[in-house]
Amino acid sequence: RQSRLNLKHLTAPKDIHHDFGIDVVEGLNKFPKSIPSKYFYDQLGSELFERICDLDEYYPTRTETAILQSYAAEIAAITGECELIELGSGSSTKTRILLDAYRDRGDRLRYVPIDISGSILSNSAIALLSDYPTLAIDGFVGTYELGLQHLPQPHLPTRLLCFLGSTLGNFSPDECDVFCDRLAGVLQAGEYLLLGIDLQKSKSVLEAAYNDRLGVTAAFNLNLLRHLNYKFEGDFDLTRFEHAAFYNQEQHQIEMYLRSLGRQRVNLRSLDLSIDLEPNETMLTEISRKFNLKHLARDLESKGFRHIRSWTDPNHWYGLVLCQI
């Protein structure tokens, strides 16, 4: 009898550590300074992100969940029985809505979650197995890139690759291009892609979502420095930096920074790196692009994805796009 749970680490933790170090040295030595946003998600960072999702001001998660609740049955009817692959599965809360829809049809359930955070992935996998007695999970701890390289042999008639939460918005337009080509390369003819994307809207709504009154987003942002201190014997003083996030209307993106509250030198001993920061100098920690549904559908078409359907909420704040390769 095959086990229902199979989780693999795609890279040794020390390789992830090595890549992290290279990215940090590169990002902090250039001007303007930056740190890749994937490094937010250590254990505490992942937990803080879950808290962000519950904030009044942070509408994306709630809105995406509502759209899924309304249309999961329709999505399942379009794809038919299929294997769910998910990039950045996290706590898999939204995936449950899709699993419910397939289960209600009497379909076999197979799930391939991919996430950089091993602890979140194994906790959510164990919870899923007990709630879905027929579910088989074949997941990976690792980057999206590695996960896509190692997708297991399909077992069901087709596959649905889910990329929810508007994580696509963290990629620059060039990175987005490369990534979509990559997706088109790993999916087989007839398979599906389900994208959750945050849409363009007023600056005030957007800026509130990234500057919440409780300061959870600020804590999430600053935690990146704590993560660096922990990994690389660093001496970032978290009281000497502040969170800053604003909407760049020309580029349609939220830009999130950590701003130095004075002139300071920071050392990351195990990387043999010392950096100097000017008063008010910023380090870019995240971009979060906001999309136009029509333009995105057109861009996906140019990559070979046939647009099947899009769904949105009554305010048109968030979109779900289903396409087929």
State the residues that interact with ligand AVJ by CB under 6 A.
52, 60, 165-167, 169-170, 210, 217, 286, 288
H-type alpha helices, the chain: 13-29, 43-53, 59-79, 95-104, 118-131, 144-149, 173-186, 203-209, 216-232, 293-302
Angle at 242 between CA 217 and CA 228, to 5 degrees: 80
User: Exposed/middle/buried for 4, CB within 10 Å: 0-12, 13-18, 19+?
Assistant: middle
Closer CB to ligand AVJ, 140 or 163, in the complex: 163
Cβ 203 to ligand AVJ, closest distance in Å?
15
Exposure b/e, 42-76, CB count within 10 A at least 16 = b: beebbbbbeebbebebbbbbbbbbebbeebbbebb
Question: What's the per-residue H, E or C state across 186-222?
Answer: HCCCCCEEEEEEEECCCHHHHHHHCCCCCCHHHHHHH
Closer CB to ligand AVJ, 101 or 225, in the complex: 225
In one letter, which amino acid is 296?
L
Cβ 169 to ligand AVJ, closest distance in Å?
6
Cβ 130 to ligand AVJ, closest distance in Å?
26
Closer CB to ligand AVJ, 256 or 322, in the complex: 256
Q: In whole angstroms, what is the distance from residue 248 CA to residue 31 CA? A: 19
Closer CB to ligand AVJ, 57 or 299, in the complex: 57
Q: Determine the residue with CB nearest ligand AVJ.
A: 288
Cβ 52 to ligand AVJ, closest distance in Å?
5
Is 282 in contact with 34 (CB distance < 8 Å)?
Answer: no
Closer CB to ligand AVJ, 257 or 305, in the complex: 257
Q: In whole angstroms, what is the distance from residue 222 CA to residue 212 CA? A: 14
Cβ 80 to ligand AVJ, closest distance in Å?
29
Closer CB to ligand AVJ, 113 or 165, in the complex: 165
Give the residue among 183, 172, 272 at the shortest CA–CA distance from 232: 272
Cβ 217 to ligand AVJ, closest distance in Å?
5
Task: Give 291's DSSP letter.
Answer: B
Is 216 in contact with 52 (CB distance < 8 Å)?
Answer: yes
Closer CB to ligand AVJ, 219 or 268, in the complex: 219
Cβ 315 to ligand AVJ, closest distance in Å?
17
Cβ 165 to ligand AVJ, closest distance in Å?
5
- Residue 137, token pair as written in the block: 């999970």
Closer CB to ligand AVJ, 25 or 55, in the complex: 55
Angle at 39 between CA 148 and CA 267, to 5 degrees: 140
